[in-house]
Amino acid sequence: MAVRLLFPTFIFEVDLLNDDLHPNDGLTKEYLNLLKDTMDGMRQRDPEGRRISNAYTGWQSNDGCETNPIFAQLHKKISRVFTREVIPFHGLDPSNAIMQMGNMWANINDFSAWNKPHLHNGCWYSGAFYIHADGDEGSLDIIDKDCKVVSDFPHSTRTPTSYSIQPTSGKLVLFPSGTMHMVEPNMTNKERYSVAFNIEMRYQTNQGRFPINEDTYNQDEFKFEIDSNGDPILK
């Protein structure tokens, strides 16, 4: 029997602190410490911050990190990843479809802070970058909005309704802006530092989107057989 995945949500993850990355692609711990210090200064100047999806405690800045020169290097790395990985994956021509950073804001989640389920309207992709996190200060949960059935729905680990991503320093997560997501409460006494952002697209010509190369695209790339135990046979 063959199984075909339809309408999947694509989540891109990369560790920008990975030592195997080219220096032009990765970031250093020293730079992350600079970002952390910068966010501390932002919170000192505006201790109230703003309230949008953040709940109970925690601090969120107003938009503006996208124009702060301290964040320029991070912006550049995100742009490189998006242009080289995400744009070609969706069949767009990187020379014509240019990503444009929209708004970016800073988040500091302390004990019991969390973010309500929400999505990001008005853009194509959204993302989060973790500046200071050990992985146990509350996961990023991706939530399935698509009702698979209208009646009985037996639980299965292969058909989850949410997926958790553990935040660690240097991790970059990109996802379509219509993806429902939330941040679980931070039940530690540590503070997690992150920035969130939205990405827009700008086209160089009136041709708009380019089709995926038919010579390389396989319409069955998300189709696979299953074995006698019901497990996927992945090639």
* Residues 156-205: tens digit of each pLDDT: 888 888 999 999 999 999 999 999 999 999 999 999 999 999 999 877 76
Closest CA to 13 of 188, 163, 115: 163
Is residue 29, in this structure, part of any structural domain at all? yes
Q: Beta-carbon neighbour count of residue 49 at 10 Å?
A: 18
Q: Classify residue 173: in a domain, yes or no.
A: yes
For residue 112, what is the domain's CATH number? 2.60.120.620
Mean pLDDT of 205-216: 61
- The phi and psi torsions of 232 (rounded to 5 degrees) equal -65, 140
Tell me the angle at which helices 72-81 and 29-45 cross, rounded to the nearest 10 degrees. 120
- Provide the domain count of the chain: 1
Tell me, yes or no, whether 119 lies in a domain.
Answer: yes
Q: State residue 158's pLDDT score.
A: 84
Q: Kind and range of the H or E element at 39?
A: helix 29-45
Q: Is 20 a domain residue?
A: yes
Please give the mean pLDDT across all residues of the chain: 91
Residue with tokens 């189709």: 223
Rounded CA separation 35/25 (Å): 17
What is the domain extent for residue 16? 2-149+160-233
Q: Is 170 helix (H, G, I), strand (E, B) or coil?
A: coil
User: Quick check: is 155 in a domain?
Assistant: no
Is residue 22 in a domain?
yes
Q: How far apart are CA 125 and CA 199, in angstroms?
A: 5
Residue 37's pLDDT is: 98
What CA–CA distance (Å, rounded) separates 186 from 115?
10
Is 154 contained in some domain? no
- Tell me, yes or no, whether 74 lies in a domain: yes
Instruction: Specify the pLDDT at position 209.
Output: 54
**82-138 pLDDT, tens digit each:** 999 998 888 887 777 788 999 999 999 999 999 999 999 989 999 999 999 999 999
| 104 and 63 Cβ atoms separated by less than 8 Å | yes
